[in-house]
Structure 1
Amino acid sequence: MRLRKLVLPLLALPIALGGCGMLGSSAGTPGAAASATPIAGGGDWLVVATGSATPSPVASPAASRPPVLPPVSFLPVHPGCAEDWTVNPPLIPIEVVPGAGRLTVTWPRQYDSDYRITAVKQPLITGNQPAYTWQQVPAGTGCTVTATITGLQKGVPYIVWLDAPNTGHELDGARHPYSGRSGVVYPR
């Protein structure tokens, strides 16, 4: 195998160096029909004109291209609209700030819906659970809606529930997010 790898290139070398003349072609012999001199009455094959070299391009600071996009200016944003909300798709995100006997609840406005909120006590109770007292909240006009639940006991754990009954539906019939809940919070 090694011998073949060495012999084949050595056999091809004379053919490559000798060209077509080694194979008996008439194109390899001098004095054939081709001639380097032009035929009488024919034009020159190559026209050479004198000239000067093209200069290299030089960047000019005064002649720069205009920007592709126009300058951008942003409209002022209400602070509540600039807040990043952690969104869990089926739930409306809410923030709860505890106060003295109260909880202040804030959430992003959802599709011009009205709302209702309640604070549910979390201690274990045997038997029937007490009825919830819902507080009605209008839709609001800003990016966020804020409401305060009062009359709560200090040190008692609560979970805040939010309901938005009129959020509407997507084009496929699925409801927009219509409820939210907080983690456990304690009024001060």
Structure 2
Amino acid sequence: MRFRRLMLPLLALPIALGGCGALGLGPPAGAPGSAAATPEPGGDWIVVAPGSATPSPAPSRLGSRAPVLPPVSFLPVRPGCAKSWIVNPPLIPIEVVPGARRLTVTWPRQQDSDYRITAVRQPLIAGAQPDYTWQNVAAGTGCTVTATITGLDPGVPYVVWLDAPNTGHELDGARHPYSGRSGVVYPR
């Protein structure tokens, strides 16, 4: 009895592994879908069907067109200004000269706007950051505008921020984002 229990599963094993083909009930050998038509172990399993090449696109009756790019306008260059500034809108280039407890900031005048500047302390502080105060600066009439920020701590790193709040507005009413900032500077 024990021998029968062991033999029955062993006899069913070839049928389980070979499927209906082991009993002669599957498709004939060599027919599509038969075991002989399946790839060899380790062979390619991707079946590639022959087809035709995709046709080339037909040229447009309107001809080729340049890609649509947003309009770009550059700030006007004042003919009497000798210094050449590299302008990267919307950033206004600025120069900062450190002095004793002060920073002297110079930038090219843009679109007759007035300006505001501030020096922002850079040391990391946990929690709420201290407020910074904007210093208003008139546009003037020359090629450049210069302002001095005083009362700074010597040896402390600062970054100077520049804002030109009256540079006009876009068609949607948004303000032109002309602004500038310096790298890290240290007053003496």
- 1:136-177 per-position Cα deviation (integer Å, ceiling 9, x unaligned): 101111111000000011110000001111011367877545
- Cα RMSD, aligned residues only: 1.8
Kept in 1, the 8 Å contact 2:102–2:148? The answer is yes
The 1:170/1:142 distance shift into structure 2, 3 A limit, reads farther
Kept in 2, the 8 Å contact 1:153–1:187? The answer is yes
Report percent identity of matched pairs: 85
- Name the residue aligned to 1:135: 135
Amino acid at match of 1:128: A
- Name the residue aligned to 1:182: 182
The whole-number CA distance in structure 1 between the counterparts of 2:166 and 2:157 is 29
Kept in 1, the 8 Å contact 2:100–2:154? The answer is yes
SS of the aligned residue for 1:152 comes to coil
Structure 1 or 2, whichever has the larger Rg, is 1
- Aligned-pair distance for 1:132? 0.7
- Alignment partner of 1:162 is 2:166: no
- Alignment partner of 1:84 is 2:50: no
The whole-number CA distance in structure 1 between the counterparts of 2:183 and 2:85 is 15
- Aligned-pair distance for 1:105? 0.3
The whole-number CA distance in structure 2 between the counterparts of 1:133 and 1:123 is 17
Regions of 4+ moved over 3 Å: 169-177
- Name the residue aligned to 2:150: 150
Kept in 1, the 8 Å contact 2:85–2:93? The answer is yes
Q: What residue ranges of structure 2 are gaps of 5+ in the alignment?
A: 1-78
The whole-number CA distance in structure 2 between the counterparts of 1:151 and 1:92 is 24
Q: What residue ranges of structure 1 are gaps of 5+ in the alignment?
A: 1-76
- Name the residue aligned to 1:55: none
TM-score, scaled relative to structure 2? 0.54
Count of residues in Structure 1 that have an aligned counterpart in Structure 2: 110
Q: Higher mean Cα deviation, 143-152 or 82-91?
A: 82-91
Amino acid at match of 1:109: R
The 1:175/1:181 distance shift into structure 2, 3 A limit, reads same
- Aligned-pair distance for 1:112? 1.1
Equivalent residues in 2 for 1:23-42 (5 A)?
Answer: none
